[in-house]
């Protein structure tokens, strides 16, 4: 017996409680403690019912992540769940907080489940590329309404106690004290001499299941789960619960679980999970530094970004003052914010009261003096150095002492912006992604003179506004956009070399990106990159790669917004249609560039040409110190650019391919296309020489 799981008897009820802070993860000690305590209580003649509950803030919230990737420790969770399934006395799980993953599987091994109203139950394993492997896929459909069970296993999303009650997953919602309620429930069972229901004895209720239920279900999730390995395995496991006797179903679940475990996807998704946690850990940071207080925020510019940025703070209950150049711009900006909120309310994800509450926290102004009390001011005006400098000069004059001054610039030199003020220690970058109220990524740019406490403040604030913050250094495009350049460049060159926009986009889409680079260009607006390039010396860029996009913009083909870009768009329809005019432009430009077009560009070449620059540039960024660890780069690309999480981000993907193979391809491309863009980063060479990979640099 151990003191992580303890037993206390009240009359003839044994109360077994788990105390393994912070989330009562199912570590080896917890598994042993539950198994032994339940067995002992079951064997005790004085005991008539057993309650399994947890101390602290939650019921068991899942596996112990520190055991991930290590040899399994006895007893396995499936063994524990099967052992408690066999008790001869009623065993009741008393749930508060989150009964997730293994926690819910333990509860499903009990005869009854009671919960407080705020509790959540769920099986999030699929988000790590796995399935609930301790009987969850077999018991959940045997106790819950089939569609709810399937949704829970396949989506990984939790359900609230009330829905769980309706679906049959829990037996009672307890008002007031959970333990008292559970004891009362146990006493009722004892008094009734109730029989012992075991979920494992049930059959799945398929009486209302249409013949095409699973086929329709598969179709329904096809888009969301495209490319992912585990969702299909989850479905197969639930099918087994219908088609096989319980014990056979458990075996099938185990086989499917092992398939998931062995898939590269689960490793990548676990990497994604740990990478996100690591990102908020600022490397080499003095733990005694205290963050500043952020109680109010100022935003300059209520355009595409400013409005979205404001919504993040309003959603977190932080008042925002938003400044624009004139009343018209304010009216337009506020109108868009309100429209966004109202659309959310229409979808039922917000009440109108909440909409008014959020809008009530927003104060528009055209006067800089109104920003004097803001603790953080974020500039989101046009991407133009002169405009930014003017804004920061004004901010320096009005902002209170200690206020953090942030810029949302995508490319500009934040050190130069900071030097426009007399307080460069308070200046940093907060690079939000569009749409800023939705995209999770926030690049936090640590300028040369940024004070550590200012940096720490925004790293903590990122969490508060539900963003994944990643710290970057000041370089052209920071982490994400700096890497994006090679991706776009190669797409531009591949068109000239003979690949059509459709072929390039299909290859990249099929590889796993949400859309190809050219369809993305059409969506974002081809003119944005065009205008950006005007701001920098031409020799920064490849002399041919932008011929086609330049021609597009000069011909008024700016993308979806003009109804044509690399593709044609019918009014009101965002489906790209190939356009022979574009092909003619490409052929013309290839001839002007003296490029001989090839027939034989393979999808494999397209993927390598577009993805390997990410890896190589990522390596340069690392060795130049603009990212703290490879996993930070992965977090940026997975959360800001749609890099498929099941590939784990560019750096993880490079390790998966094998760095020596990456190096070889980079060397081949150097030989074919020249050194300028393809020279392998010295860091890659060094790691290969040492027999290491990028993950060896993750801490």
Cis peptide before 75 (omega within 30 of 0): yes
Per-position DSSP letters for 265-308, written without gaps between them: HHHHHHHHHHHHHHHTS-TT--TT--PPP---EEEE--SHHHHH
Rounded least distance, CB 430 to ligand NAD, Å: 10
Rounded least distance, CB 326 to ligand NAD, Å: 8
Tell me the window of 108-116, 431-439, 454-462, 493-501 that interacts with ligand NAD (CB under 6 A): 431-439
- 443 part of the interface to ligand NAD, by CB under 6 A: no
Total residues belonging to the chain: 699
Binding residues for ligand NAD restricted to 395-424, rule: CB under 6 A: 408-410
Using CB positions, name the residue nearest to ligand NAD: 303
- 4 part of the interface to ligand NAD, by CB under 6 A: no
Among 85, 171, 239, 324, binds ligand NAD (CB under 6 A): 324
Question: Which is nearer to ligand NAD, 32 or 442 (by Cβ)?
Answer: 442
For 492-512, b where at least 16 C-beta lie within 10 A, e where not — what string?
A: bbbbbbbbbbbbbbbbbbebb
Distance of CA 356 to the CA centre of its chain: 29
- Nearest by Cα to 390 from 417, 428, 429: 417
Rounded least distance, CB 481 to ligand NAD, Å: 8
- 323 part of the interface to ligand NAD, by CB under 6 A: yes
Question: Which is nearer to ligand NAD, 90 or 333 (by Cβ)?
Answer: 333
Binding residues for ligand NAD restricted to 369-388, rule: CB under 6 A: 380-383, 387
Rounded least distance, CB 91 to ligand NAD, Å: 54
Q: Based on C-alpha coordinates, what's the Rg of the chain?
A: 29
For 363-377, b where at least 16 C-beta lie within 10 A, e where not — what string?
A: ebeeebebbeebbbb
Question: Which is nearer to ligand NAD, 92 or 520 (by Cβ)?
Answer: 520
Judge whether 615 and 654 are in contact, CB under 8 Å.
Answer: yes
| Total of residues contacting ligand NAD (CB under 6 A) | 23
Question: Which is nearer to ligand NAD, 27 or 409 (by Cβ)?
Answer: 409
Active site (catalytic) residues: 105, 125
Judge whether 560 and 522 are in contact, CB under 8 Å.
Answer: yes
Residue carrying structure tokens 């979920």: 199
Rounded least distance, CB 394 to ligand NAD, Å: 8
Q: How many CA atoms lie within 13 A of 365 on its CB side?
A: 16
- Nearest by Cα to 470 from 608, 190, 280, 242: 280
Rounded least distance, CB 541 to ligand NAD, Å: 18
Q: Strands 159-160 and 120-122, how do they pair? A: antiparallel
Rounded least distance, CB 431 to ligand NAD, Å: 6
DSSP class of 600: -
- 306 part of the interface to ligand NAD, by CB under 6 A: yes
Tell me the window of 46-54, 296-304, 452-460, 570-578 that interacts with ligand NAD (CB under 6 A): 296-304
Residue 577 φ/ψ, nearest 5 degrees? -115, 135
Question: Which is nearer to ligand NAD, 303 or 452 (by Cβ)?
Answer: 303
Question: Which is nearer to ligand NAD, 385 or 587 (by Cβ)?
Answer: 385
- 285 part of the interface to ligand NAD, by CB under 6 A: no
Judge whether 107 and 68 are in contact, CB under 8 Å.
Answer: no
Q: How far apart (Å, rounded) are the C-alpha atoms in residues 256 and 262?
A: 10
Among 60, 108, 237, 300, binds ligand NAD (CB under 6 A): 300
| Beta carbons within 10 angstroms of residue 697's beta carbon | 16
Residue 214 φ/ψ, nearest 5 degrees? -70, -35
Judge whether 15 and 8 are in contact, CB under 8 Å.
Answer: yes
Rounded least distance, CB 336 to ligand NAD, Å: 10
Quick check: helix, strand or coil at residue 362? strand
Among 303, 319, 357, 563, binds ligand NAD (CB under 6 A): 303
Distance of CA 165 to the CA centre of its chain: 29
- 51 part of the interface to ligand NAD, by CB under 6 A: no
Tell me the window of 198-206, 314-322, 426-434, 484-492 that interacts with ligand NAD (CB under 6 A): 426-434
Judge whether 377 and 395 are in contact, CB under 8 Å.
Answer: yes
> 438 vs 93, 224, 464, 466, CA distance in Å?
37, 17, 14, 10
Binding residues for ligand NAD restricted to 476-505, rule: CB under 6 A: none
Tell me the window of 27-35, 178-186, 249-257, 318-326 that interacts with ligand NAD (CB under 6 A): 318-326
Question: Which is nearer to ligand NAD, 299 or 615 (by Cβ)?
Answer: 299
Rounded least distance, CB 516 to ligand NAD, Å: 18
Among 261, 329, 398, 515, binds ligand NAD (CB under 6 A): 329
- 301 part of the interface to ligand NAD, by CB under 6 A: yes
Judge whether 252 and 131 are in contact, CB under 8 Å.
Answer: no
Residue 401 φ/ψ, nearest 5 degrees? -65, 135
Question: Which is nearer to ligand NAD, 110 or 430 (by Cβ)?
Answer: 430
- 291 part of the interface to ligand NAD, by CB under 6 A: no
Question: Which is nearer to ligand NAD, 325 or 352 (by Cβ)?
Answer: 325
Interface positions with ligand NAD (CB under 6 A): 300-306, 323-325, 329, 380-383, 387, 391, 408-410, 432-434
């Amino acid at each position: 017996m151990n003191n992580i799981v303890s037993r206390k008897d009240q009359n003839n009820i044994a109360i077994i409680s788990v105390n393994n802070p912070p989330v009562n993860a199912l570590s080896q000690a917890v598994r042993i403690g539950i198994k032994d305590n339940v067995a002992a209580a079951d064997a005790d003649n004085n005991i008539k019912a057993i309650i399994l509950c947890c101390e602290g803030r939650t019921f068991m919230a899942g596996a112990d992540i520190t055991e991930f990737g290590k040899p399994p420790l006895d007893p396995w969770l499936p063994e524990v769940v099967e052992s408690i399934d066999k008790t001869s006395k009623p065993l009741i799980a008393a749930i508060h907080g989150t009964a997730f993953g293994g926690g819910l599987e333990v509860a499903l091994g009990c005869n009854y489940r009671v919960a407080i109203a705020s509790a959540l139950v769920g099986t999030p394993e699929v988000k790590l590329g796995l399935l609930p492997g301790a009987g969850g896929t077999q018991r959940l459909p045997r106790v819950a309404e089939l569609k709810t069970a399937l949704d829970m296993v396949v989506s990984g999303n939790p359900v609230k106690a009330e829905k769980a009650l309706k679906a049959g997953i829990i037996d009672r919602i307890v008002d007031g004290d959970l333990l008292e309620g559970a004891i009362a429930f146990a006493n009722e069972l004892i008094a009734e001499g109730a029989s012992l229901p075991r979920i494992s004895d049930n059959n799945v209720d398929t009486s209302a299941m249409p013949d095409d239920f699973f086929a329709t279900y598969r179709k329904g999730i096809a888009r969301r789960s495209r490319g992912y390995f585990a969702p299909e395995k989850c479905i197969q496991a639930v099918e087994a619960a219908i088609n096989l006797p319980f014990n056979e179903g458990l075996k099938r679940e185990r086989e499917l679980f092992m398939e998931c475990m062995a898939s590269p996807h689960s490793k990548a998704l676990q990497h994604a999970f740990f990478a996100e946690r690591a990102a908020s850990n600022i490397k080499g940071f003095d733990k005694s530094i205290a963050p500043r207080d952020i109680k109010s925020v100022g935003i300059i510019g209520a355009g595409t970004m400013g409005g979205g940025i404001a919504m993040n703070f309003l959603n977190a209950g932080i008042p925002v003052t938003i400044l624009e150049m004139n009343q018209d711009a304010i009216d337009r900006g506020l109108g868009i914010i309100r429209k966004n909120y109202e659309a959310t309310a229409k979808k039922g994800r917000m009440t109108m009261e909440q909409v008014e509450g959020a809008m009530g926290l927003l104060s528009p102004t055209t006067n800089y003096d109104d920003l004097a009390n803001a603790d953080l001011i974020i500039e989101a005006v046009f991407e133009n150095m002169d405009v930014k400098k003017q804004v920061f000069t004004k901010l320096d004059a009005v902002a209170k002492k200690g206020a953090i001054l942030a810029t949302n610039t995508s490319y500009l030199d934040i050190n130069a912006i900071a030097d426009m003020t007399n307080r460069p220690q308070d200046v940093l970058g907060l690079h939000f992604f569009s749409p800023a109220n939705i995209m999770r990524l926030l690049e936090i740019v640590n300028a040369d003179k940024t004070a550590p406490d200012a940096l720490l403040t925004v790293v903590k604030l990122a969490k508060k506004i539900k963003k994944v913050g990643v710290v970057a250094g000041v370089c052209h495009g920071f982490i994400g956009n700096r890497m994006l350049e090679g991706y776009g460049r190669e797409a531009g060159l591949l068109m000239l070399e003979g690949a059509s926009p459709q072929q390039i986009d299909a290859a990249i889409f099929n590889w796993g990106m949400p859309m190809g680079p050219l369809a993305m260009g059409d969506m974002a607006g081809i003119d944005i990159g065009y205008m950006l390039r005007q701001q920098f010396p031409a020799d920064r860029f490849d002399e041919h790669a932008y011929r086609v996009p330049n021609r597009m913009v000069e011909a008024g083909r700016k993308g979806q917004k003009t109804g044509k870009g690399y593709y044609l768009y019918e009014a009101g329809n965002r489906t790209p249609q190939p356009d022979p005019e574009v092909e003619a432009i490409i052929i013309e430009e290839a001839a002007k560039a003296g490029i001989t077009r090839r027939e034989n560009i393979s999808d494999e070449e397209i993927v390598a040409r577009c993805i390997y620059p990410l890896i190589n540039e990522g390596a340069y960024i690392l060795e130049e110190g603009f990212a703290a660890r490879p996993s930070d780069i992965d977090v940026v690309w997975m959360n800001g650019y749609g890099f498929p999480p099941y590939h784990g981000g560019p750096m993880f993907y490079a390790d998966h391919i094998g760095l020596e193979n990456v190096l070889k391809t980079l060397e081949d491309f150097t030989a074919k296309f020249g050194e300028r863009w393809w020279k392998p980063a010295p860091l890659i060479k060094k790691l290969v020489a040492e027999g290491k990979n990028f993950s060896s640099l993750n801490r």
